[in-house]
Structure 1
C-alpha cells in the first residue's frame, strides 16, 4: 500500500491472529479485504475522491468476546490501528480505515442474549432484521430502524446512524430512553469492560467506533402494531405536501413511516413503480391497520390517489415500501444516474417556502425527499413533529455542492453534511466533548479508527507528513 499513513502488519502479528481465529478468518489480500475495508461512502463523490483508496492491511472475523480481547491486547502492544466494522451500511466512511492496520469484523458476534420486558440485549453483530422478527411474535418491535435493516447490525446502527423507520412515532436513537445500556471494551494491553447506562450512552452514540468497542448493548422496544403499507400519489406537489404535513401532525393516527418523494425519483424504484402512476409524486406510509381505511378515504377526499395498499402480514417480505425510503431513495437514484448524490436536511415549519426557494435556485439539480419524524436531535428539537429529509442532488463540482449547502443555511435549512468522514464536520456539537473524554480513558493510545474524531490526538505513527491531506488541509 502506498497511501499516506498506511500502517502494515508484521508477519508475527498475522501469525498470532491466524492461530487465534483460524487462517480462514484472517484476510490479508484480494477482493474480500477490499470489501471489508469499505462501506457505502461512495454515495458521496467527495468521499470517493478522498478515501476511495483507503484499505486495511488485514481484516479479522471475530466471533467471541474472548477473541476480541486477545486481538486488542496484541494490537496495543504493536500499536496497530483498529477499525470496527458491522454490516457496513453507513454512508460517511465510518468504517473505512484511514491508516491501514486491522479491520475488526464483528458480525460473528451476533447473539441475541435476551428479549423480554420490552428490551433487547444483544452482541454488537446482531442484525436488526432478525431482532425485529424475533421481537414481533412476543408483542414488541424496534422503535426505529434504518432502511438497511436486513443487513445492519445493532452496534453499527448506534455507532453511525441516527434514526429511521419508526422515528415519526418514537424519535431517533438519541431520544432519551431508547438506548438503555452499552458495554464497551477499552483498547489497552489488558482490556476492560466499561458499562454506560441511559444518558451516559451518548458518550459512544454516533462516534464511529472511535472511543470504545461496543461488545453488548440494550435497546428499548415499542409495543408491536399491525402496520399496513400504503402509497398515496398525485401530480399535485403542493396538495401532496399539505396532506403529508397534516397527517404527520395528527397524533391520533399511529404511524411508523411517512415519506414524501418528488417526481422523478419514484420512477427509479423499478421493482415497485407499477404501484403508482408515472409522473406522480408519492407518499409511502405505514399506518396502523385500524386507521388505514380512514387515512385512505382522507387522501381521496383531498383529491389524491391511493393506488396501492399492502395489508399487514408477518413475517414481512418484499415488497417493503420502507426499502425505498430514507437513504435507500438515494441508492435507487444512483442506480439510475451515477451523477446523483444527496444532502441531509432539517427544515423549519415553513418548509414549503424553503423548498420553493431551493427549487427556484437549483432547477433540475435538487429533488426533494422528506421524512417526518418526532423531533430532530441535530436541530435540538425533541418533542415536535418535524420535517427532515434527504434531497437527491445532481453533483457537478464540490464547489457547486457547497453552494447548495450554503443556500440551505441562508434560508434556515440545517444541513448535516454527509460528504465528510470526520465526526465533528457532519453535524452540530451535541456531545463531542464527552465523547473525547471517554476516548482518553478507553483508547489511551488513540488506535481506534484514527482520523475520524478531529479533536482527538492522532496516534504516534500519524506524523503530519504521513497523514491523508484532507485531515490537515
Structure 2
C-alpha cells in the first residue's frame, strides 16, 4: 500500500512543508523505536522500510486532515509519541504515514486532582509542573523524561507509583479524546470502561489527541538503596513493605546480584555480592523502613534526601525497563522478559527457575498493585543465546504458573495484552479499512 506516492503533491498542498515531511533521514529516524531491547525484534524490524512520509501535526485540525486524507487514498497511518516503546509499536510495518504527535505538547489544565493534557506533553514536564502546584503524577514509566503522556497511555501499562496506584487500567486514565479513521473522522470523548479499548492499544483503535489523568498530592520522597545478603530476603522485605499501608511509597524494586553491579553511578555505595532494593518512600517513614529492613537482615546502604529529588540521578532511573538498559550497557548479550508471579508461591517459582536455568536468568522484580492486589511483577534479565532458547525459558515459566507478557513481539495478542475482543470490535468500528498501525493487532476486517 502507498508505494507509488502519487499522493505526495496533494498532501503537501493540504498541509504544507511545515507539517508534511519526506526527508529520508527524518522518515528513517521516526520509523523506529526502542525495539532493539529485543534481539528477536531487532532482527525482524531493523530492515523494515521507513514510512513514506511523516506528518508533524500541531493540533487536532491537522490530525483530522491527515486521517481523512489517508482514508481517501487508503494509506496506512502509524501514530508516534516520543518513540520510547520497546515492542515496535511505532514501526510502520506497511509504510504509509507516521503521525508524529510530539508537537501537540500543551498542558491544557491542571486542576485539583487531575491534569488535562495534549498527548505530546512529556511526563517529566507534567511531573515538574504538577509538583510546583503541590501535586504529582500517580504512575509513570522509567522513561518519563522523554516519554509522552499519550505514548505512555497507548503503549505502556505501569511504572513508578504502581505500588500504590496500580496500572493504567486501575483508574489512572480519566478521559481521552480519540479520532477515528474514517472518511470524516469522528472526535470521540471517551470515559469509564470504554477507555480500555484505547489503553495499551498502539494506536490501532483510534488516535489519542488529548488525555486527562489523575494527580496525587505532592509527597516529599526519600530514595533508598536497601541491601540484603540474599535475594529471597530482599523479596520478603519488598513484600512486607508493599503490604504495610502505613508506609507511603512510590517504588519497591528488588534486584538480584550481579544486576546492581551494572549501575555504575552507584558503584561507590552498592556493596558487592548482595541483593539491592531500590525504594522511594515518604521521607518521614525512613525510620520505619530502616527497622523493617533490619528484620530481614538488611541495611539501608544509601539515602538520597527528599530535597534532592529530581535534582540528581535517582533510584528510579535504574528500575522498570531502565534496569534492562543498564544491563545491556554492561553486557550486550542481555535481554529481558516480563512476567507475573503468584503472590502465594513466588518464592517456590523463583527457586524452580533458578534450578532449571541458574544465572542464565537474573531476577529483577517490581512490587505493584493490580486491581488493588499486591503483585510481584518480574522483568528478569536473560542472557540471550538464541530465539529457540529464549522460548524454552518462556514455556518453562508458563508451565509452572508464571504468566509471561512477551516483549519480543509487536502483536498485541501475542504480547500478553489479555482479552482483546473488545479492542477488535472497536477497531472495526473506528477503522473500517484497517489502516491504523496495521499488523499490530490480529483483527479480521
Q: TM-score, normalised by structure 1?
A: 0.90
Query: Is 1:102 aligned to residue 97 of structure 2?
Result: yes
Superposed, which structure 2 residues align to 1:227-246 within 5 Å? 227-246=221-240
Q: 1:418 aligns with which of 395, 401, 407?
A: 407
Residue ranges of structure 1 left out of the alignment (5+ in a row): 1-5, 376-381, 458-473
CA contact (8 A) 2:142 2:321 kept: yes
Query: Is 1:118 aligned to residue 113 of structure 2?
Result: yes
Query: Is 1:440 aligned to residue 428 of structure 2?
Result: yes
Q: CA deviation at 1:293?
A: 2.2
CA contact (8 A) 1:186 1:443 kept: yes
Aligned residue for 2:35? 41
Superposed, which structure 2 residues align to 1:46-85 within 5 Å? 46-54=40-48, 55-85=50-80
Aligned residue for 2:160? 165
CA contact (8 A) 1:405 1:415 kept: yes
Superposed, which structure 2 residues align to 1:4-23 within 5 Å? 7-8=2-3, 10-11=5-6, 13-23=7-17
Q: 2:126 aligns with which of 110, 126, 131?
A: 131
Number of aligned residues: 443
Q: 1:456 to 1:63 in 2, by over 3 A?
A: farther
CA contact (8 A) 1:9 1:101 kept: no
Runs of 4+ in structure 1 displaced over 6 angstroms?
A: none
CA contact (8 A) 2:257 2:273 kept: yes
Q: 1:451 aligns with which of 425, 439, 442?
A: 439
Superposed, which structure 2 residues align to 1:265-304 within 5 Å? 265-304=259-298
Aligned residue for 1:3? none
Q: CA deviation at 1:429?
A: 2.9
Q: 1:63 to 1:315 in 2, by over 3 A?
A: farther
Find the residue that maps to 1:318 and give its secondary structure: coil
Q: CA deviation at 1:22?
A: 4.2
Aligned residue for 1:468? none
Measure the CA separation in 1 of the matches of 2:13 and 2:290. 61
Q: 1:193 aligns with which of 184, 187, 212?
A: 187
Q: 1:394 aligns with which of 357, 380, 383?
A: 383
CA contact (8 A) 1:133 1:315 kept: no
Measure the CA separation in 2 of the matches of 1:405 and 1:105. 34
What RMSD in Å do the two structures reach over aligned CA positions?
1.6
Measure the CA separation in 1 of the matches of 2:341 and 2:361. 15
Query: Is 1:333 aligned to residue 327 of structure 2?
Result: yes
Measure the CA separation in 2 of the matches of 1:315 and 1:291. 16
Measure the CA separation in 2 of the matches of 1:357 and 1:146. 30
Query: Is 1:345 aligned to residue 334 of structure 2?
Result: no
Q: TM-score, normalised by structure 2?
A: 0.96
Q: 1:160 to 1:456 in 2, by over 3 A?
A: farther
Find the residue that maps to 1:103 and give its secondary structure: strand
Query: Is 1:374 aligned to residue 369 of structure 2?
Result: yes
Q: 1:275 to 1:9 in 2, by over 3 A?
A: farther
Aligned residue for 1:465? none
Find the residue that maps to 1:423 and give its secondary structure: coil
Residue ranges of structure 2 left out of the alignment (5+ in a row): none
Query: Is 1:363 aligned to residue 358 of structure 2?
Result: yes
CA contact (8 A) 2:41 2:409 kept: yes
Q: CA deviation at 1:151?
A: 0.7
Which segment is superposed worse, 229-238 or 74-83?
229-238
Measure the CA separation in 1 of the matches of 2:184 and 2:106. 24
Find the residue that maps to 2:160 and give its secondary structure: coil
Q: Deviations over 1:62-106 (max 9, x none)?
A: 111111111112111111100000011111111111101110110
CA contact (8 A) 1:9 1:80 kept: no
Q: CA deviation at 1:267?
A: 1.1
Measure the CA separation in 2 of the matches of 1:277 and 1:30. 48
Q: Deviations over 1:111-157 (max 9, x none)?
A: 11111021111111011111111111222211110000011111111
Find the residue that maps to 2:436 and give its secondary structure: coil
Q: CA deviation at 1:21?
A: 4.6
Q: CA deviation at 1:24?
A: 5.1
